[in-house]
Structure 1
């Protein structure tokens, strides 16, 4: 069970690092939220839920 918690922590840290890199470079990150929707989050904090048609490929 400890390995599972380590993996969750690593995934969280990777996502946080991606957001920091996006802010530093003025870009965005794309991720799935807890409901399963794809979200594009810009470096200024604005979030855009991507249309359903784009979500079947990821």
Structure 2
């Protein structure tokens, strides 16, 4: 059975404050991304601002 990157990626459960899910959903749709991709991009952007180098997904 073929394995996809999403099947082997690290997983992390997150609790969002009330209303954030809806905001993320709207922003993801605007950017034509999944909610997961939108959250990952937001975290990556925040880390770049802090000067943190993240490993690129393969």
TM-score with structure 2 length normalisation? 0.34
Q: Larger RCO: Structure 1 or Structure 2 (Cα < 8 Å, ≥ 6 residues apart)? A: 1
Which has the larger strand fraction?
Answer: 1
